[in-house]
Amino acid sequence: MRIVAENLTFTYNKKSKFAVDALKDVSLTIEEGSFFGIIGHTGSGKSTFIQHLNGIIPLTSGKLMVGDINLADKKKIVKKKYKQLRSKVGMVFQYPEYQLFAETVFLDVAFGYKNFYPNSTEEEVKMAVFKALDMLGLPKDCINKSPLDLSGGQKRRVAIAGVLVSKPEVLVLDEPVAGLDPVGKNELMKILHDLHRSGVVKTVIIVSHDMDEVCENCSDVAVFSEGKIVFAGKPSEVFKRSKEMNELRLGVPVTGFLLDELKAVGVEIDSDFTREDFVQNIAKYYKDNK
Ligand SMILES: Nc1ncnc2c1ncn2[C@@H]1O[C@H](COP(=O)(O)OP(=O)(O)O)[C@@H](O)[C@H]1O
Ligand SMILES: [Mg+2]
């Protein structure tokens, strides 16, 4: 399902002196099948935007189509529609492990499933939970453990399994690798890629403020600043604007910095900024100019 936002505007505490304009006229299309990165500084509106996508924040101004669900059409957004929307768009909040609550890993993930499939049999629940844990690379023997006894990275994966278990088409993750160590970050990004590549989830949307992470992993990006989208496109197009990205104090991937420095000494190399492409183009330049 395709997501189309048009002129999305949102103010917290509207009509009070604490009003905050969190989104201002945000228009963005997220195509089905993309691995979409939402980037921007803290407070730029990223979380407010993504929380509109499954109705956690109700639409107050502008248009929003999520697949064929029109969130602007208030008359049709009855409770049942929200439930349908939430079964299609799974939302993983920032630090989701803080929301684990059940006695065991099994019960926590099963809760996520039963919420959407209340009439399922115990056998179906079991199958779904095992499958979700397996997809997150969690060993079977963790099911009877308390989530509190797992490592930080494992807790996060259990929390993601609790969302994935309901089989959403779109998986939205707010800063999914924040706070993990470098190995844990790579492992989790690889898992997300595998889920995307194998079609378990059609579209993945991640919030990040790490330019390298976005460049290496995303097919498309949108850059938020002060509640607005300043650039959107392929990472290779967005990161070409190193001057503007530096002015926004977001910077570019490390490959972008290096390409700028090479340019300053007269070596101009074209690259899409991924490490692999960067290395190949440097090697080609070296061979061609030997
Ligand atoms: N629940 C809230 N109540 C009031 N203001 C909020 C709330 N959540 C976020 N904001 C404000 O809205 C703006 C956008 O925040 P947010 O969407 O959380 O940005 P980001 O995810 O990019 O850090 C910020 O100015 C933030 O302080
Ligand atoms: Mg946020």
Ligand nearest to the CA of 227: 1
For ligand 1, say whether the CB of 13 is within 6 Å of any of its atoms: yes
pLDDT at residue number 283 = 95
pLDDT at residue number 74 = 67
| CA-closest residue to ligand 1 atom 24 | 43
Nearest-angstrom CA–CA distance, 224 and 64: 18
Among 47, 60, 228, 250, residue to substitute to test ligand 1 (most atoms within 8 Å of Cβ): 47
Per-residue exposure over 34-71, b if at least 16 CB sit within 10 Å of its own CB, e if not: bbbbbbbeeebbbbbbbbbbbbebebeebebbbbebbb
Q: Are 139 and 184 in contact (CB under 8 A)?
A: no
Ligand nearest to the CA of 48: 1
| CA-closest residue to ligand 1 atom 7 | 12
For ligand 1, say whether the CB of 43 is within 6 Å of any of its atoms: yes
Tell me the residue length of the chain: 290
pLDDT at residue number 76 = 63
pLDDT at residue number 71 = 86
Do 281 and 166 belong together in one domain? no
> Environment class of residue 30 by beta-carbon count within 10 Å: exposed (0-12), middle (13-18) or buried (19+)?
buried
Q: Are 48 and 259 in contact (CB under 8 A)?
A: no
pLDDT at residue number 44 = 96
Do 38 and 181 belong together in one domain? yes
Ligand 1 centre from 48 Cα, in Å?
6
Structural domain harbouring 273: 253-290
pTM to 2 decimal places? 0.95
Do 232 and 259 belong together in one domain? no
Do 260 and 222 belong together in one domain? no
Do 179 and 288 belong together in one domain? no
For ligand 1, say whether the CB of 20 is within 6 Å of any of its atoms: yes
Do 240 and 266 belong together in one domain? no
pLDDT tens, position by position, 56-77: 998 999 999 999 888 876 666 6
pLDDT at residue number 209 = 85
- How do strand 203-208 and strand 35-40 relate by DSSP bridges? parallel
Positions in the chain whose pLDDT score sits under 50: none
pLDDT at residue number 78 = 65
Do 224 and 279 belong together in one domain? no
Do 195 and 54 belong together in one domain? yes
